Chain A
Amino acid sequence: MNDAVTTAPGIVAVVLVTVATLAIGTWGLRFSRTTSDFFVASRTVRPGLNASAIGGEYLSAASFLGIAGLVLVFGADMLWYPVGWTAGYLVLLVLVAAPLRRSGAYTLPDFAEARLGSRRVRSLCSALVVGIGWLYLLPQFQGAGVTLAATIGAPPWLGAVIVAAVVLINVTSGGMRSITFVQAFQYWLKLTALLVPACVLLAVWAGDGAPNPADAAIPGDAFWSLPLGDGGAQGLYVTYSLIIATFLGTMGLPHVVVRFYTNPDGRAARRTTLVVLGLLGVFYLLPPVYGALGRLYASDSIVRASDVLVLELPRLMVPGLGGELLTGLVTAGAFAAFLSTSSGLTIAVAGVLSQDVASRRLSGITAFRVAGVAAVVVPCAVAIAAPDVGVARTVGLAFAVAASTFCPLLLLGIWWRGLTAAGAVAGLLVGGIGSGCAVGWTLLTSATTGWAAVLLGQPAAWSVPAALATMVVVSRATRSRIPAHAGRFMVRLHTPEAVDLAR
């Protein structure tokens, strides 16, 4: 795999995507003139562009590489990942999109502090943003290592280090400030990089007269088409827990919230989310195609890491230069996925770290740069030290933590006047510690059978209700301490901007 002909398209693709990312970032910088331009694009981004940017930031290594491999290995129950990641935006649309924009909060800790008027809640939210961000960055770096190892035969740590370095240069030099253009470009790049090879591969499959993928006889997976986990009641629990984590976790992802703030008003925030639903729906039609075709053409590679299926399949199905070029295109898309998602997450984590930790000792830009280094180095080191966790599974855990912490906080904060700071802290601790223990247990052990393993492997079904109930009960018990401005804040969250009211 190491001769120059087969590695050239992969290397060219990685270099081109990196250069294009830096170039568009710099080009977009020329339109940024004020501080407001830099941080929130002066809140004038139109729904179409903003939705592309959200799609570009959201579609990570897990979507681009993970799903196809999981579908190949485990079958139709893995289709719940893309369904949940899309439906999460519908839940976000109906429950939080417009109020979150109207709150004027730039990050989740900002929202918590503005709503509850408590520094303690803010600090706790900051810690959770850093934790979720790191957990989400980890599989991006792992995926980068897997990708470079598969396409150009590089050692696994190299990909992680390259992505980490590019992200760090981007974020700390300011090139990513014009992030909207970069992210929007990367959505369309990722869609093209998956769509074009998929069409070619489908044509090859039709031309081959090969059998229906559903008929491929692979011993030991009679239930490939059944959209449920294995093992009866346990499988049902795992599937529903995954649904809860993904449907409710999307709204709590730290890099998603920032993008809502760039909408001009609450109405535009809703329309943006609707376009996002469309963009994600189109994209997620494609990974299962790779998974299904992989059953026919790559069944012997099931034993290897399934995350490389999308990268290997063009080569396996199209011999010669054509296959290598398609592999180059897919590699470009995968690299765009790592860069866009990790840049967005790094900015979110570094923003919180610099505001709440580093700024106590350092000033402005220095604090942000130090925080950026910390935001990238920690997950990168873990990715190199522990490279064997499935990309989509780790991302699934990040969703479970987000669903158990920020989802109850946002839901109750937006729709219930009675939430108190004490209630929020108690609920965040219950949800965060519960799901956090589950995550640690899953990352450190490998047992997957028995109810204990099932409950800890997919914690959302018990940790989300526990966090919600704790918030409600403790808030009721401390109802004398409902923030004085709660009513005024409700007016700000829910009334249309056109109505003339004190906010």
Chain B
Amino acid sequence: MSAEPTSGTGGRPARVRVTGPPRRRASGVRPTASREIDADSELGAVYMSSLLGEQLRLAAGVLVALGLTVGVLPLVFHVFPHLSDLRLLGVPVPWLLLGVLVYPWLIVLGWFYVRRAEANERDFADLVADQPDER
């Protein structure tokens, strides 16, 4: 699929059959890293496990943050039941925490995750693409 369709007879552009986005780069040499990954070689496995490890660490971090904030609440109220008598602006603290504040906190965690996960993928794409084959 070349960028400029060649002119056919009578000045009309030749028909190009479009079946889908190009799965592979049209020309040029593919970078080493993606060839290694495609070949499922040991080097390719290193690239892949670095991406997987990075994403898994990020996910685990977010889940630990969730567990240490929202997840410990039942335990805290089990150990200190009188916390539930506390009021803030007339609203009992458990209601404020579980009925309202937990939702913005979940969105903040999700927003942080999306930003970092996309950054990880950009880094991976740069790593794999920016290694011209010069051997």
Chain A positions within 8 Å of B, measured between CB atoms, are 76, 79-80, 83, 86-87, 89-91, 93-95, 98, 212, 214, 223, 225-228, 232, 235-236, 239-240, 243, 267, 270-271, 273-274, 277-278, 280-282, 284-285, 288, 292, 415, 487-488, 490-491, 494-496, 498-502
Contacts and interface: CB of A to CB of B under 8 A. Distances in A.
Contact of B99 (A94, A243, A285): A285
Given A98-B117, A227-B98, A270-B118, 16 more contacts: A90-B66, A214-B92, A227-B77, A228-B77, A235-B78, A236-B78, A240-B74, A267-B118, A271-B114, A277-B107, A490-B48, A490-B52, A500-B23, A500-B24, A500-B129, A502-B38
Nearest to A239: B74
22 contacts: A76-B92, A79-B95, A79-B98, A79-B99, A91-B66, A94-B62, A94-B110, A95-B63, A228-B74, A236-B74, A243-B71, A267-B118, A280-B103, A281-B106, A284-B103, A288-B99, A494-B48, A494-B51, A494-B52, A496-B125, A499-B34, A502-B38
Q: Binding site of B, secondary structure by majority: helix, strand, loop or mixed? A: helix
B98 A80 contact: yes
Contact of B98 (A76, A415, A502): A76
Contact of B124 (A227, A243, A490, A495): A495
Contact of B117 (A91, A243, A270, A285): A270
A495 B117 CA distance: 11
B18 to A, nearest CB: 15
Interface residues on B, range: 35 or more
Interface in B98-135: 98-100, 102-104, 106-107, 109-111, 113-114, 117-118, 121-122, 124-125, 128-129
Given A94-B58, A226-B77, A228-B74, A274 B48 contact: no
B84 interface: yes
Given A227-B84, A228-B77, A274-B107, A94 B59 contact: yes
Contacts of B52: 415, 490, 494
A87 B48 CA distance: 29
A281 B105 CA distance: 10
Nearest to A229: B74
A277 B106 contact: yes
Given A240-B74, A500-B30, A94 B81 contact: no
Contact of B110 (A214, A227, A277): A277
A205 to B, nearest CB: 13
Given A76-B98, A94-B59, A214 B87 contact: yes
A277 B129 CA distance: 34
Contact of A499 (B63, B78, B129): B129
A501 B37 contact: yes
Q: Give the top 8 A-B pairs by smallest Cβ distance, nearest first.
A: A281-B103, A79-B98, A94-B59, A225-B92, A496-B121, A226-B84, A227-B94, A502-B38
A232 to B, nearest CB: 8
Contacts of A502: 38
Nearest to A240: B74
A500 B99 contact: no
Nearest to A280: B103
B19 to A, nearest CB: 14
A498 B125 contact: yes
B8 interface: no
A83 B77 contact: no
A95 B87 CA distance: 36
A236 B51 CA distance: 38
Nearest to A283: B103
A202 to B, nearest CB: 13
A226 B84 CA distance: 5
Contacts of A83: 70, 98, 102
A227 B66 CA distance: 17
Nearest to B21: A497
B110 A273 contact: yes
Nearest to A282: B103
Contacts of A93: 110, 113-114
B110 A274 contact: yes
B75 interface: yes
